[in-house]
């Protein structure tokens, strides 16, 4: 595996896990309808993070493109999660922002 990508791969994997947990926890909230956008973005973010990690692991020529998309979706998910006052949303927002930062650095490199 290309060591150049390792920090970004790790951030993507951590973010995907945080997003999966957040979506699952949001589904247990009493106001689940109010959490619909958060849940949707959690699922999208998890999917793109997993794909980005996989493509970086493969050393894909498309890694930078997926990292740019990943950063964009992570920022959107992090912004949405930050609106909610639940611990799982707070942790997810932190993971999303860290992943977006790693992906942005990967694109800039």
pLDDT tens digits, one per residue of 65-102? 999 999 999 999 999 999 999 999 999 999 999 999 99
Task: Report the C-alpha gap between 74 and 43 in whole angstroms.
Answer: 11
Task: Record the pTM.
Answer: 0.94
Residue 5 vs residue 89, higher pLDDT: 89
Whose CA is closest to 88, among 28, 44, 9?
28
What mean pLDDT value characterizes the chain? 94
Examine the pLDDT at 32 and tell me if it is beyond 70: yes
Joined together, the tokens standing for residue 67 give 């990292």
Q: What's the pLDDT at 68? A: 96
Q: What was the pLDDT predicted at 106?
A: 85
> Contacts for 63-69 with beta carbons within 8 Å, 24 or more apart?
63/5, 63/106, 64/106, 64/107, 67/8, 67/103, 67/104, 67/106, 67/107, 68/103, 68/107
pLDDT at 108 over 90: no
**Helix axis angle, 36-58 relative to 63-82, nearest 10°?**
160
Q: How many CB atoms lie within 10 A of CB 94?
A: 16
pLDDT reading at 51 higher than 70: yes
Q: Choose the CATH number for 3-108 among 3.40.640.10, 1.10.357.10, 1.20.1270.360, 3.75.10.10.
A: 1.20.1270.360
């Amino acid at each position: 595996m290309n060591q150049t990508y390792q920090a970004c791969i790790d951030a993507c994997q951590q973010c995907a896990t945080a997003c999966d947990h957040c979506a699952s926890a949001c589904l247990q909230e009493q106001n689940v309808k109010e959490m619909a956008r958060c849940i949707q973005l959690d699922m999208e973010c998890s999917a793109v993070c997993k794909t980005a990690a996989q493509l970086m692991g493969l050393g894909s020529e498309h890694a930078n493109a997926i990292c740019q998309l990943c950063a964009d979706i992570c920022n959107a998910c992090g912004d949405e999660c930050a609106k909610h006052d639940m611990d799982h949303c707070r942790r997810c927002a932190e993971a999303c922002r860290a992943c977006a930062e790693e992906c942005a650095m990967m694109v800039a490199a």
